Structure formats: structure tokens, C-alpha cells
């Protein structure tokens, strides 16, 4: 293909406000709001998967010999089921119009973070009841680690729920 003698290559660039770091003169954010909002949805999956690990690890041991594990099992199974239910509602995109969902999810995540943290602390105090290197000890130690991770996930979800509630996203 022959080029015209007077033709020049034209280079065009596309400027994205999301790539400009700290550009406060135009008021454009340096982060992608959509990806931050979707992080709260990913946290639900993390809570379901890690929550399942927590109570499955405890259930595979002789936890019934120590009564405080009853509290831990109650909290972990209760919030795992409720989180699974919340996930199914989100996936089905079903919402009851009379229910203030942002408020409900905010209260749910705050209580889950508090009660899961208390259960993780109780479980951490019970780990030394097992014999180091044995099945119960290993499962309780791993479960304690995952329980603290789930607590952090619920705290993160509570933060994003608060941001959504504060904006008035109903």
C-alpha cells in the first residue's frame, strides 16, 4: 500500500481520570469506585468460605468436651448460615422493598464482627487444652486463625456497609 507524500502519522492518547494520582484540581478520584464497591461483595464469598473452614475444623474434633466451644460453634454456624442466606439473596438480586437493606446489612455485619471476634478470642484461649501436635490441637489452632480472618472480613464488610448506609443507598 503506497503512502501519500503529505500524510503524517497521527498519534492519539486517551487520558483517564482514574490514572491521574491525586488530581484534586478537577475533583476526579484516583481510584475506581466500582472496584471498591465490588470488594464488599467479594468479602461475602470470603466470609462463607472461611466461616465454613472454621466450624468444619472445630466439628472434626472432640470439641464437646469443653463447653466454651458450644459458644464458638453457635456463632460460627449461625453467622455462616446467615451469610450464606445473604449471599443467595444478593446473587438472586432479590430485595423486599419494605426492608431497609443497607441498615439491615450494616447491623448484621457489625454484630457478626463483634460476636465472631468474641468467639475467636474464646477459641484462642481453648487451643492450649489440646496436646500440641495432635489432631485436636492442630484443628483448633487453624480454626482460631481462620476465625480471626473471618472477624476481619466482617469488620471490612461493616465498614463498606457503613459507607453505603452513610451515602443513603437504599
What gap in Å lies between CA 157 and CA 114, rounded to an integer? 12
Residue 12, in any domain of the structure? no
pLDDT band at 130 (very low <50, low <70, confident <90, very high): confident
Residue 51 included in any domain = yes
Residues 6+ apart with CB under 8 A from 141: 127
Tens-digit pLDDT profile for residues 76-114: 999 999 999 988 887 777 666 677 788 888 999 999 999
Tens of pLDDT, residues 30-51: 444 454 446 777 888 999 999 9
Residue 17: its pLDDT value, please?
Answer: 45
Task: Specify if 9 maps to a domain.
Answer: no
pLDDT at 69 over 70: yes
Distance CA 104, CA 61 (A): 34
Q: What total of structural domains would you count in the chain?
A: 1
Across 33-54, b (16+ Cβ under 10 Å) vs e yields eeeeeeebeebbebbbebbbbb
The answer to whether residue 125 scores a pLDDT higher than 60 is yes
Q: How confident is the model at residue 133 (pLDDT cuts 50, 70, 90)?
A: confident
Domain for residue 77, yes or no?
Answer: yes
**pLDDT for res 32:** 45
pLDDT more than 90, % of the chain? 41
Residue 140 lies in a domain: yes
Instruction: Give residue 55's domain range.
Output: 33-167
Amino acid at each position: 500500500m503506497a503512502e501519500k507524500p503529505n500524510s503524517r502519522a497521527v498519534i492519539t492518547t486517551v487520558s483517564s481520570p482514574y490514572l491521574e494520582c491525586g488530581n484534586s484540581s478537577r475533583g476526579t478520584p484516583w481510584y475506581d469506585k466500582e472496584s471498591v464497591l465490588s470488594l464488599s461483595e467479594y468479602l461475602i464469598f470470603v466470609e462463607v468460605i472461611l466461616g465454613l473452614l472454621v466450624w468444619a475444623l472445630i466439628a472434626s474434633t472432640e470439641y464437646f468436651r469443653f463447653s466454651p466451644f458450644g459458644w464458638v460453634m453457635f456463632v460460627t454456624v449461625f453467622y455462616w448460615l446467615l451469610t450464606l442466606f445473604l449471599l443467595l439473596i444478593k446473587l438472586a438480586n432479590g430485595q423486599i422493598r419494605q426492608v431497609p437493606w443497607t441498615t439491615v446489612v450494616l447491623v448484621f455485619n457489625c454484630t457478626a464482627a463483634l460476636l465472631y471476634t468474641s468467639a475467636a478470642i474464646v477459641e484462642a484461649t481453648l487451643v492450649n487444652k489440646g496436646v500440641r501436635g495432635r489432631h485436636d490441637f492442630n484443628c483448633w489452632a487453624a480454626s482460631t486463625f481462620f476465625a480471626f480472618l473471618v472477624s476481619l472480613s466482617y469488620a471490612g464488610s461493616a465498614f463498606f456497609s457503613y459507607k453505603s448506609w452513610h451515602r443513603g443507598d437504599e
